[in-house]
A and B are shown apart, each in its own frame.
Chain A
Amino acid sequence: MPVIDVRLSRLNKLIGRDLSLEELDNILFTFGMELDSAKQVESNDYQLKIEITPDRPDMLSIWGLARALRKYLSLELGIDRYEIRESNYMIFVDTSVAKIRPYIAATVAKNVKLTEEDLEDLIYAQEKLHETFCRGRKKASIGFYPFRKLDWPLHYKADYPDNIRFKPLGANTVMNGIEILREHPTGQQYAHLLKDAEKFPVFVDNSNHVLSLPPIINSEDYGKLTVDDRDILLEVTGTHKPTVELVVNIVTAILSDMGGELYNVKINYPSASEVSPYMRPKRWGLKTSYVKKVLGVEIPKEKIRTLLNRMGLDVISQKENELEVIVPAYRADIWHQIDIVDDIARAYGFDNFEPELTPVFTTGGVLERSQIIDYLREILIGLGFTEVFTFALTNKDDQFAKMGLDTPDSVVEIKGAKEEKINIVRKWLLPELLKTLAYNKDRKYPIKIFEISDVVELYNGSDTGAINRTKIAVLSAHKEASFTEIRSISEYLLRSIGITNFEIRRITHGSFIEGRVAGIFINERNIGVLGELHPAVISNWGLIIPISALELNLDEIMKWSYKPVEVA
């Protein structure tokens, strides 16, 4: 969840009400957000961390958050009308960007009063949007430019990186595209976005001044705002048109909240032209019966309108059972009518619904597998064994090398785990039981533990290429641990679930002492192994106690066949 840092006093000023910390906490909760932390900075002020619901990028700025809360608190209602003045500002888009970053949108905002604080918050909002909704600047990226320095019309094109030469933000020398990606810190951070690109996107004015190298960095000379700037160009480029449109709308709404007069910008694509931003609200039809069906409560039309107003939406017309709803153009979270119903629910307040246990007659049931596992667990507990839960994620060394075995081919291998000791999913349980023992070596013996759980292995017959298998592993560690003990347990377990036609045969197995290990077979199918663990294996785990152990394959015992999903 994205988190934004705001000062309570500044948020209150923008909301227009003096909310206490408790009030804000409660409002955020009912709205669907969370006050992560509040650090007192002055006698009556707090630095807050607020978790913003991730489908609402329009609330990632303090202005957007304040706007939403103002309406939620009924301090102002409904949809904002954004006056976008006509202009002659134009951006020409060259065909060359089509392959690398095809879309651009822009707005000019004039007479914006920028304080230091505003400027900081604006850049902060830009970065928050980049990180989240813009997917690390991949889908869209935002730039601001001092209007007074621009020579219109502007041009968006792609060029060879060594032809793109300008002074990037924060640098004091002119660099070319390649140097920026290699040497500039921001260039290094976002270089992967232009990897393999023959030409880089570049945004220039009519005098061919480089304004920016999207999505990497702006020019120090032509793309840097200061508090002296009153008139601002907002530009958004990207690879995904709907995202570019939403982002330009979200930031345009911010500039409007900051008091800017908005002017449109004509975008001349090679084959067509259009005007940005795209602030016209979206229309959605909404049946009142649908609202009732989803929420389970009948809400009168008038009430629905008020609730929608508190979410910043409006109803422009209503028929008998249907409302026409308009949604502000900065809302990224309305894909379907259901999302409008969700807004109604949030404004209604989840605390105000009446939970009802709608009767649905069905009968319950457990899987045959679970039932048998329960029986086996009970028997092992009766024998004095304690249940453990080990990790399924492990590594080849623990599963095989430490156990005196070679890694088999049928192991499920994990890519890029953050935890360095993870590279496979367990194929058997015993090594993991030994790991538990290794962490508990100062505990009193006898230690008798077991686990009945799944392992995975490669399997051609499934849609995933792998299969889960339920295994039963039993381990007895004490001075008298013996083959006889563990074989008796094995036979007792098998007989308890009605398996009597098994054979115990001498086998060899790298984890066990030669001559003290046996395989268990049912009609020539190997269903398990038991014996005394080899002293080398015991030592590999840093242990010095005799151990007898058993591992059975429940799927093999029961001859369960593969199913893409098992149900009771």
Chain B
Amino acid sequence: MPSIEEIILTLSRNERRVLKVISDIGLDEFSEEEIAKKSNLSTAEIARSILWLENKGLVKKYQVTKDMIVITEKGRRYIDLVLPEQKVLNLLKEKKQIKLDDVLKLLKIEPNELNVAIGVLIKNRLAQLDKRSKTIKITENGEKISELPTQTAFKAIIHNKADLSAFQKEIKELMRRGLLRYERKTQWKIKLTELGKKVISTRFEIDVIDKLTPEIIAEKAWLTKRIRWYDVESPVPKIWGGRKHPLRLIMEKIRRIFLEMGFREMRGPWVETSFWNMDSMWIPQDHPAREMQATFYLNKPAKGVVRDKELLQLVKEVQENGGDTGSTGWQQPWSEKEALKTLLRTHTTAVTFRVLGFLIRNKLLEPPVKFFTIDRVFRNETIDWKHLAEFHQVEGFVVAKDLSLQSLMGYIREFYTKMGIKKIRFKPTYNPYTEPSMEVFAWHHDVGKWVEVGNSGIFRPETLRPYGITEPVIAWGLAVERLAMLIYEIEDIRKILGPMCDINWLRWYKVPLRDIFG
């Protein structure tokens, strides 16, 4: 609980001015309009000050419901004028007596208004009516009175006078005539709290420095005046700045890990020939993954080229009969035409085989080498919460002597440990271009089960023969978006990649600090 002095120090210039007005008004209950009338602050400034004063516990703002007297549509005709009875009286004071027809002409009022006016004047004995000559005449009482009670009451209401107790009769009368009515109104009212009263009774109008300016600093005004305190505990606006996409954080982490492990980055094209996407790695030409159901083929460009004719021949041999690898091959004719069809690459292994085919085969690179890529791949899928037609794949491979299945496990374990995924398990699997092949499973302690986080293997002899590679090649890969779904706990994959990604998530996502993997 801050002391009265602390509270006073936190008051801004406007809050102080509002408090001064409140203290001057001296009422128990008041409204912002009343403060506005007595100060030169804008209504917005008052409202903000009241809000701050309320936050500081000095005032309380609350709603009251009251039946208020309001002027009706009919009554509004007289707001800037006077009531007809007053008009007629004023005219009589001048003319003493006048024909009704002349009243209508001179005052430009409606006959029914005149009837009401005459009724009021006669009832109050302020005028007399001669029915035969249709003439009205002022009485002695009429000469004495200057303003009619109904007129006084009406003015009091127009001017929003607080105390209307003197006009009960007249208000009733005006209501009967349909010029006034009651309306239930909700109003914001303000009152001082006990704390507010204490502050007001203390010397709160001290002169403080509200805003530090270069002049104040230079002229050392702060030596003599105190600097206003802030309410440091009150809420502040929620902001955002520019940020990396959450996927980027994962990709950067993966890239960093590969670099730490001595891998070099590689990059290959999105548009591929079937050759580099499939044939080059001994995927048979009738493999289900090559169907249009699974892969995006292209109308434009419809066909690519493989300029290395010797490579085409070598691939043809291992495909058809295993060549000199000791393999049976697929024992079916291999079509070059099929291999030259273009498509959107379905995996980043296409990039790996470009490195094997363009660089290692041509002796532009010599093993040992380690490479990685993190880039986009495409699958012909219908997009829904579980599937995308494109996503990011990571691929890393090592070409070196003496690599074995145990080395592959070692590299993968190192990689995932660096990712923060410590408890992993390997499951044998089948890939057309690696043998043995392993899926990598990680223990997800929130879900309480093993989840697949990668795929891997040792390239088959048939896949390497065309590139003249005799060293073992180990490789592994994973899908970034799947991992991101686990890390950021997002169920709908479309919220991660593509236009449905929520900009508010990008503004305010939490960086992945917590280990979800055991």
A interface residue numbers (CB < 8 A to B): 29-32, 34, 53-56, 132, 135, 138-139, 240-242, 293-297, 333, 335-339, 341-342, 345-346, 350-351, 353-358, 360-367, 369-370, 377, 380-393, 411-419, 422, 425, 432, 435-436, 438-440, 443, 447-449, 454, 456, 458, 462-468, 564-568
Contact = CB atoms under 8 A, between A and B. Distances in A.
A440 B495 CA distance: 12
A80 B283 CA distance: 31
Interface in B342-361: 342, 344, 351, 354-355, 358-359
A447 B370 contact: no
A565 B304 contact: no
The 6 A-B pairs with the shortest beta carbon distances in the complex, nearest first, are: A296-B404, A465-B301, A296-B406, A32-B428, A355-B409, A466-B271
B242 A448 contact: yes
A389 B301 contact: no
B371 to A, nearest CB: 7
A342 B428 contact: yes
**Could you say which of B267, B331, B499 has the most chain A C-beta atoms within 10 Å of its C-beta?**
B499
Given A135-B288, A335-B328, 14 more contacts: A333-B430, A336-B326, A355-B412, A357-B410, A363-B264, A383-B242, A387-B244, A391-B389, A391-B498, A432-B499, A435-B499, A464-B342, A466-B342, A568-B266
A337 B405 CA distance: 15
Given A567-B265, A568-B264, A389 B497 contact: yes
Nearest to A297: B406
Interface in B329-351: 329, 331-332, 342, 344, 351
Contacts of A53: 428-430
A432 B390 CA distance: 14
B354 A364 contact: no
Contact of A360 (B344, B403, B425, B428): B403
Interface stretch (B26-34, B68-76, B169-177, B291-299): B291-299
B332 A567 contact: no
Contact of A392 (B241, B270, B380): B270
**Could you say which of A383, A443, A463 has the most chain B C-beta atoms within 10 Å of its C-beta?**
A463
A413 B358 contact: no
A455 B488 CA distance: 28
A462 to B, nearest CB: 7
Given A29-B427, A32-B429, A364-B262, A464 B407 contact: no
B336 to A, nearest CB: 14
B243 A381 contact: yes
A463 B412 CA distance: 33
Interface of B: 240-245, 247-248, 255, 258-273, 286, 288, 292-293, 296-307, 322, 325-329, 331-332, 342, 344, 351, 354-355, 358-359, 365, 368-371, 376, 378, 380-383, 389-390, 398, 400, 402-407, 409-414, 425-430, 435-438, 458, 460-462, 472, 496-504, 506-507
Contact of A139 (B286, B301, B369, B427): B286
Given A419-B382, A565-B268, A393 B462 contact: no
Contact of A416 (B301, B342, B344, B380): B380
Contacts of A567: 264-267, 355, 359, 365, 371
Nearest to B267: A566
A385 B245 CA distance: 11
21 contacts: A53-B428, A53-B430, A336-B322, A342-B437, A350-B409, A354-B406, A355-B410, A357-B407, A358-B403, A364-B259, A386-B506, A393-B344, A417-B380, A418-B293, A436-B503, A449-B503, A456-B270, A464-B272, A565-B267, A567-B264, A567-B265
A568 B427 CA distance: 33
B503 A386 contact: yes
A360 B368 contact: yes
Given A297-B406, A370-B265, A411-B300, A336 B462 contact: yes
Contacts of A464: 269, 271-273, 301, 304, 342
Contacts of A333: 430
Contacts of A30: 427-428
Contacts of A385: 242
Contacts of A34: 427
A333 B428 CA distance: 14
A443 B240 CA distance: 12
A449 B501 CA distance: 12
Contacts of A356: 406-407, 409-410
B263 to A, nearest CB: 5
A566 B426 CA distance: 32
B25 to A, nearest CB: 39
Given A297-B406, A363-B262, A387-B248, A415 B297 contact: yes
Contact of B305 (A345, A412, A463): A463
Contacts of B425: 350-351
B298 A412 contact: yes
Given A338-B460, A353-B405, A381-B243, A425 B270 contact: yes
Contact of B430 (A32, A345, A357): A32
Contacts of A425: 270-271, 344
A565 B438 CA distance: 27
A60 to B, nearest CB: 14
B404 A293 contact: yes
B427 A415 contact: no
A345 B428 CA distance: 8
Contacts of A466: 269-271, 301, 342
Contact of A345 (B242, B255, B436, B506): B436
Contacts of B355: 565, 567
A103 B261 CA distance: 53
A281 B497 CA distance: 51
Contacts of A361: 262, 368
A337 B298 contact: no
A297 B408 CA distance: 13
A416 B376 CA distance: 20
B296 A415 contact: yes
A565 B359 contact: yes
B389 A419 contact: yes
Contact of B292 (A415, A448, A449): A415
A415 B502 CA distance: 30
Given A358-B403, A360-B403, A565-B354, A458 B301 contact: yes
Nearest to A364: B259
Given A390-B499, A419-B382, A464-B271, A384 B241 contact: yes
Nearest to B308: A463
A369 B411 CA distance: 27
Contacts of A377: 244, 248
Nearest to A367: B265
A322 B460 CA distance: 21
B458 to A, nearest CB: 7
B499 A362 contact: no
Contact of A32 (B263, B302, B427): B427
A367 B269 CA distance: 14
Nearest to B403: A358
Contacts of A338: 435-436, 460-461
B502 to A, nearest CB: 7
B443 to A, nearest CB: 13
A565 B365 CA distance: 13
Nearest to B332: A240
Contacts of B499: 390-391, 432, 435-436, 438-439
B406 A295 contact: yes
B244 A467 contact: no
Nearest to B481: A389
Contacts of B462: 335-336
B264 A414 contact: no
A418 B184 CA distance: 63
B389 to A, nearest CB: 5
A83 to B, nearest CB: 27
Contact of A382 (B242, B437, B458): B242
Contact of B414 (A335, A357, A363, A467): A357
Given A357-B407, A411-B300, A389 B501 contact: yes
